[in-house]
Copies of this chain bind each other. A is one copy, B any other.
Amino acid sequence: MVNGSRGPGELAPLSREIKLGDRVLLYQDARRKWIAKVEPGRFHTHRGYFELAELVGKEYGGSIRTSMGQNLAVFRPRALDIVESFDRPTQILYPKDIGYALFQLGVGNGDRVLEVGTGSGALTSALARGIAPDGQVFTYEMRPEFLRAAKANVDKAGFGSLVTFHNKDPTEGFDETGVDAVVVDLGDPWRMVRAAYGALVGGGLLAGFTPTINQLEKLAIALREGGFVILEAVELLMREFKTEAGKVRPETRMIGHTAYVTIARKLLPTPEA
């Protein structure tokens, strides 16, 4: 729901025209892009400025010219663009990992999803978008200052009503039961396996993100011992390409590693014969 229709759990209001108070994506190129709020005042780039209020009444998808003649495209931001603009102390998860995990979890409208490790709220927002409009995300974070920042971020992305925030030690267990999926993004995910098992419905899905191989190994052991079936453990490598005609080639540098992604399902105990 990025461009022009209605929708609960979304960046309102969704007319095709830019309105005062909208958050817009100003796009020069892949490295130079900004989220800005449409309100009185100037927006400055290193290639000149323009008055933000000039955008009001224009159609999304057009462009604006700065005082120095630089064109900037003016797009309605995707959730992804807003999330990219969050203050994040560290980034582990990238779109490649989040997109893959959401697809593997089969997260969809109406699902109840539990997240352990709210962090900056980036993954929280992606999950909220996935379960909109009828589902709910329950997210746990021990550090109150992280939780506060994440809540502000999730509100900014327009998903506040879909998320319940818990400031609580997740190793002590979760308040919810019968959830469809659990997503774990913490340094010691193996310590949450028992609580995750308790919170999930039979067959419920779990996704774990682990930067090191040692963490992957410990998580896999805990999952197998804790009643889960591991569907897969994978890593995703993404390469960007230059696409200039006659000079097509991968970029020289790439991100070589973010995290291993483990997908598992809860298996109910076999009744005694």
Do the beta carbons of A232 and B109 come within 8 Å of each other? no
- Our pick among B3, B27, B234 for the contact of A180 (Cβ within 8 Å) is B3
A191 an interface residue at 8 Å Cβ cutoff? no
Of the candidates A8, A202, A247, the one having the most CB atoms from chain B within 10 angstroms of its own CB is A202
Question: Nearest-CB distance from A186 to chain B (Å)?
Answer: 16
A66 an interface residue at 8 Å Cβ cutoff? no
Question: Would you give 15 A-B contacts (Cβ < 8 Å), ordered by A?
Answer: A1-B109, A3-B201, A7-B108, A7-B110, A16-B201, A61-B267, A99-B102, A102-B102, A103-B126, A109-B133, A133-B133, A214-B247, A220-B248, A233-B243, A235-B239
Do the beta carbons of B103 and A30 come within 8 Å of each other? no
Select from chain B the residue with minimum beta-carbon distance to A134. Answer: B7
A230 an interface residue at 8 Å Cβ cutoff? yes
Given contacts A16-B202, A110-B1, A111-B2, contact A239 B266 (CB under 8 A): no
- Within the assembled complex, what's the spacing in Å between the Cα atoms of A111 and B231? 31
Do the beta carbons of A108 and B1 come within 8 Å of each other? yes
Do the beta carbons of B60 and A202 come within 8 Å of each other? yes
The B-contacting residues of A in range 249-265, CB under 8 angstroms, are 249-258, 260, 262, 265
Binary contact readout A67-104 vs B (1 if CB under 8 angstroms, 0 otherwise): 00001011110111000000000000001101111111
Binary contact readout A32-65 vs B (1 if CB under 8 angstroms, 0 otherwise): 0000000000000000000000000001111101
Do the beta carbons of A203 and B256 come within 8 Å of each other? no
- Within the assembled complex, what's the spacing in Å between the Cα atoms of A247 and B102? 27
How many copies of the polypeptide does the oligomer hold? 4
Do the beta carbons of A246 and B214 come within 8 Å of each other? yes
Given contacts A62-B270, A212-B249, contact A109 B9 (CB under 8 A): yes
Question: Nearest-CB distance from A115 to chain B (Å)?
Answer: 16
- Extra contacts, 7 of them, besides A3-B180, A109-B132, A212-B248 (Cβ < 8 A), are A3-B111, A4-B204, A5-B112, A5-B134, A27-B265, A108-B129, A213-B213
- Within the assembled complex, what's the spacing in Å between the Cα atoms of A16 and B178? 10
Question: Nearest-CB distance from A240 to chain B (Å)?
Answer: 5
Given contacts A16-B202, A216-B241, contact A257 B268 (CB under 8 A): no
Select from chain B the residue with minimum beta-carbon distance to A267. Answer: B73
Which of chain B's residues have a CB closer than 8 A to the CB of A71? 270
Do the beta carbons of A98 and B103 come within 8 Å of each other? yes
- Within the assembled complex, what's the spacing in Å between the Cα atoms of A2 and B238? 28
Of the candidates A73, A203, A213, A258, the one having the most CB atoms from chain B within 10 angstroms of its own CB is A203
